[in-house]
Amino acid sequence: MISIREVGPRDGLQNEDPVPTEAKVQLLDALSGTGVRRIEAVSFVHPKAIPQMADADEVWRRARRAEGVRYSALVPNLRGADRALAAGFTEIEVVVSASDTHNRRNLNRSTEDSLADVTGLIAAVHAAGGTVEVIVATSFGCPYEGDIAPARVAGIVERVLGDGADRIAFGDTTGMGTPRRVRELLAAVDTVRGDAPVLLHFHNTRGTGLANILTALDLGVREFDASVGGLGGCPYAPGASGNVATEEVVHMLHDMGLDTGIDLERLLLAAALAEEITGRELPSGVLRAGPRYRTVAQ
């Protein structure tokens, strides 16, 4: 089974012009009905920083919770984690950039300062009965600093695991990842991660998203982020276009005989809804052309 975490409701919509709360709830509920087992629902950030997520509490309060779906919230710091816990989340994601420049642009502090905050955040979330996934952004490169040494990423992984992180994810924040760099990064972090679960998050900025996923599959990774319709990006990274589209990933994996538990037709309906909500054509090729098994009526 390949596990896909749908990040469109958070990562996708936070990069669009603000949409109504009801539309966010509709998309979240539609995705909950596709068979996807994990959804990144909202983020708890300062509304002045990311106004698109200012209604996170209301979205979560109004959303239907599907049985068997694990919902998570992204937070930038301990204050955000406290808000997420108060809202009822037990799966918390916190992001820190391997690039110090990007971390300052994204979180207004150095990578070292963020890592110091993560230490207390993990302890607080564990005390409340929750789990913490640390997402290392710009793992495959930074638009400000260029290449990021895999050894630097591995050092961050070793530190946060020492602090008790439950899971690790690696973000390709601006689509700088390639199959070669996926191999190099995984080789470096495998020396320090032990049994900690690993998830990869790819953008398709330069058209390498699916190739990177295939490479990671060959190396044993079984958990990936994807965003319905290809929504997403990064507001603090120039040129960061959308995430790899969930329906494109599912379409490819199912044709390979790999199970995701996701109903592709329902997922395409959710992608069409995302396109309607955002009011623009989304980049997903499978949404445009349909699955390969659809034929033209004679």
DSSP states of 116-147: HHHHHHHHHHHHTT-EEEEEEETTT-BTTTB-
**Which residues lie below 8 Å from residue 55, measured CB to CB, with a gap of 6+?**
21, 24
Beta-bridge partner residues of 76: none
Q: Residue 105 and residue 123: Cα distance in Å, rounded?
A: 26
Q: Which of 169, 156, 81 is nearest to 112 (CA)?
A: 156
The token pair at 220 is 């044993």
- Its sign, for the CA torsion 186, 40, 164, 80, is positive
Whose tokens are 């009965």? That residue is 129
- Does 234 participate in catalysis according to the annotation? yes
Q: Residue 89 and residue 82: Cα distance in Å, rounded?
A: 10
Q: Catalytic: which of 41, 234, 249, 273?
A: 234
Active site members: 234
